[in-house]
């Protein structure tokens, strides 16, 4: 359980909608689908309709502040099955990197994995943020379509993932992270306290960061039952 899971969810039942191609940029191929993550007939490039509206408004704000620059979508809707797959994939990668047995050192390794990855919890009162369709991982590309320097890649298991890690040491990386945060929070999004790339609106993490009494989006798969 994360601290934000204590907040209640008042599900608004907004549908998932596809993020339109065109004004936004994309990481292609999709980073988790290319690893074999089990999406089935579900699409990672979808968001709740209210979240999508705010995302497109954030792109409009970015276009005003940095003409030609675009938000680049890394990941959006993520079923719990995919969350579980990526936790195991990251666990295995970390074990190989450390040269340890993933089963023998499982608890210690998982404590590191869970710094970035939410546990794939099936409890409807405590869903992983991306399983709600309210969270999006993204970065920036410039007017030439080139990735903007952010100081560390998305999903890196290190202290460099913290949003203000470069506040004193690298004004370029920090400035770009601040720009991303500026355009997203201008539309009401909340940034994950430990991940410069993760933003959400309406889920429990958003409510916790914003001081709201409740969330509006629970795990989306419950609506499909």
What does the pLDDT look like over 93-108, one tens digit per residue?
A: 999 999 988 888 899 9
Annotated catalytic residue, options 81, 112, 156, 195: 195
CATH code given to domain 29-224 = 3.30.1380.10
Band of residue 225 on the pLDDT scale cut at 50, 70, 90: very low
Instruction: Tell me if 133 sits within 8 A of 218, measured CB to CB.
Output: no
Q: Report residue 78 as tokens.
A: 């993520």
Domain ranges of the chain: 29-224
Beta bridge pairs of residue 219 = none
Look up 195 and say whether it is catalytic.
Answer: yes
Q: Report residue 2 as tokens.
A: 């994360």
Instruction: Tell me if 33 sits within 8 A of 1, measured CB to CB.
Output: no
Encode burial over 158-182: b for 16+ CB neighbours within 10 A, e otherwise: eeebbbebbeeeeeebbebbbbbbe
How far the first Cα of the chain sits from its last, in Å, is 24
Band of residue 185 on the pLDDT scale cut at 50, 70, 90: very high
Residue-averaged pLDDT of the chain: 96
């Amino acid at each position: 359980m994360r601290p934000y899971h204590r907040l209640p969810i008042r599900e608004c039942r907004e549908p998932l909608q596809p993020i339109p191609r065109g004004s936004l940029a994309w990481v292609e191929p999709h980073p988790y689908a290319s690893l074999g993550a089990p999406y089935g007939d579900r699409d990672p490039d979808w968001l709740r309709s209210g979240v999508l509206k705010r995302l497109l408004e954030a792109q409009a704000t970015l276009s005003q502040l940095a003409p030609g620059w675009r938000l680049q979508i890394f990941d959006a809707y993520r079923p719990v099955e995919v969350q579980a797959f990526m936790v195991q994939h990251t666990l295995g990668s970390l074990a190989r990197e450390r040269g340890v047995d993933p089963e023998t050192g499982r608890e210690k390794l998982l404590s590191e994995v869970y710094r970035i990855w939410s546990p794939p919890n099936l409890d409807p009162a405590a869903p992983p943020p991306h399983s709600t369709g309210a969270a999006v991982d993204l970065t920036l590309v410039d007017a030439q379509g080139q990735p903007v320097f952010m100081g560390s890649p998305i999903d890196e298991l290190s202290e460099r993932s913290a949003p203000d890690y470069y506040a004193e040491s690298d004004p370029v990386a920090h400035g770009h992270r601040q720009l991303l945060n500026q355009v997203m929070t201008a539309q009401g999004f909340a940034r994950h306290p430990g991940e410069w790339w993760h933003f959400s609106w309406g889920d429990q993490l958003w409510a916790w960061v914003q001081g709201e009494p409740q969330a509006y989006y629970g795990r989306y798969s419950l609506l499909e039952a």
